[in-house]
Every structure is written in C-alpha cells, then in structure tokens.
C-alpha cells in the first residue's frame, strides 16, 4: 500500500518536512501549557456547537472535557512538553484511537476549519507558531483519513488472527 504519510502529504498538500517543522523549535516552551489549554477549549467549544449536525454528531458520545484534555495533553507532549498524554493514556496510537470515528476528507476539512478559527482567536500564538501548527494539524488530519481508509479494506479469509501464516495480513 502507499505509505500513510505519502497519502497524508498528497491529500493535505503539506510536505512531510513542513508538517514536522514543529520539531525545529520547542512550541511548548514558547507558548506554555495555558495556551494549549485555551486552544483546545476554544476548538472543542466550536466543535460541540457546530451548526453542521453531521460533524457535531461524530463527537456526541465523548464528553467535551475529556476531548479537551486528551487533545491538549497530546499537543503538549508532541510539541516539546512533558509526556502528559502517555503518562495517563499510554501511546497516542493516533490511527487506532480514531477507529470509532468516520474520519473522511470532509470531516478533516471541517476539523481544520474549526482549528484555524481556534488558533486565530487564541491570544499569544505568534504567526510563525500558527503556521507550524496548522501544517502539522493539516498533515495529521489527512494522515488519519488515510488511516480511516484502512477500515474499508476487506478481510482476507487467509489472514487469521494469531496465525503463523508467512503472508502478512494486509488488512483487518
């Protein structure tokens, strides 16, 4: 299969290098914990109030405060801060943890629309950090769309869980 990250770059229009330019600086040190908390709170306030029912409903079975905490803890950890997310929940395992949700191209664009607005209305995020973060978010959103498409692959009858079959299971 085409690598997940290749699909992510193609669909998002963000090159791999630009997506991970978040690692060329320490955004956590630059912005601080409180900024990430504000950002995720702002973002999910928009999501949970979205006028688009199809998008809002994706989040209907999650508590808003949990969604906020999961998100800012992941951002903090991934952008140079303490590993708050892993200490509480283990590996991010981004694709697996998004399995319950229909992460379509349309959903990725809607997510990014709200995130752009949240970034623009959160104080103390400078223009350079905003660009780095949006490139990271855009690439990641489409990485998850690529991961979501794995779900639609058919189960191979020859690929059994726990089998010692030499052929790799291409899907599940």
- Of 73-92, binders to a copy of itself (CB under 8 A) are 82-83, 86-92
Residue 68 in contact with residue 41, Cβ under 8 Å? yes
Provide the minimum distance between the beta carbon of 156 and a copy of itself in the complex, in angstroms, as a whole number.
11
Calpha distance 122→73 (Å, rounded): 17
127 binds a copy of itself (CB under 8 A): no
Comparison of 26 and 121: residue with beta carbon closer to a copy of itself: 26
For residues 67 and 59, give the distance between their C-alpha atoms in angstroms, rounded to a whole number: 9
- 2 binds a copy of itself, rule: CB under 8 A: no
CA 64/CA 75 separation, integer angstroms: 17
CA–CA gap between residue 98 and residue 145 (Å, rounded):
10
> Does 61 sit near a copy of itself (CB under 8 A)?
yes
**Binding to a copy of itself, residues 20-39 (CB under 8 A):** 20, 23
Spatial separation of the C-alpha atoms in residues 168 and 128, rounded to whole Å: 43
CB of 51: closest distance to a copy of itself in angstroms? Answer: 14
The answer to whether 13 contacts a copy of itself (rule: CB under 8 A) is no
Nearest to 100, CA basis, from 36, 147, 163 = 147
Residue 96 is a binding residue for a copy of itself (CB under 8 A): yes
57 binds a copy of itself (CB under 8 A): yes
Q: Are 127 and 133 in contact (CB under 8 A)?
A: no
Q: Which residues bind a copy of itself (CB under 8 A)?
A: 3-5, 8, 16-17, 19-20, 23, 53-54, 57, 60-61, 82-83, 86-97, 99-102, 104, 139-140, 143, 147-152, 155, 161-172
């Amino acid at each position: 299969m085409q690598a997940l990250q290749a699909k992510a770059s193609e669909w998002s229009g963000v090159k791999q290098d630009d997506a991970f330019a978040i690692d060329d600086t320490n955004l956590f040190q630059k912005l601080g914990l409180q900024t990430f908390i504000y950002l995720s709170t702002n973002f999910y306030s928009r999501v949970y109030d979205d006028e688009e029912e199809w998008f809002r409903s994706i989040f209907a079975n999650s508590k808003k405060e949990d969604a906020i905490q999961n998100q800012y803890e992941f951002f903090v950890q991934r952008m140079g801060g303490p590993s708050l997310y892993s200490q509480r929940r283990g590996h991010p395992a981004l694709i697996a943890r998004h399995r319950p949700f229909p992460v379509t191209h349309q959903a990725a664009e809607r997510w990014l629309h709200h995130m752009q607005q949240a970034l623009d209305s959160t104080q103390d995020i400078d223009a350079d950090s905003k660009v780095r973060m949006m490139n990271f978010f855009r690439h990641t959103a489409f990485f998850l769309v690529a991961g979501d498409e794995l779900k639609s692959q058919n189960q191979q009858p020859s690929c059994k869980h726990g089998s010692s079959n030499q052929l790799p299971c291409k899907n599940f």
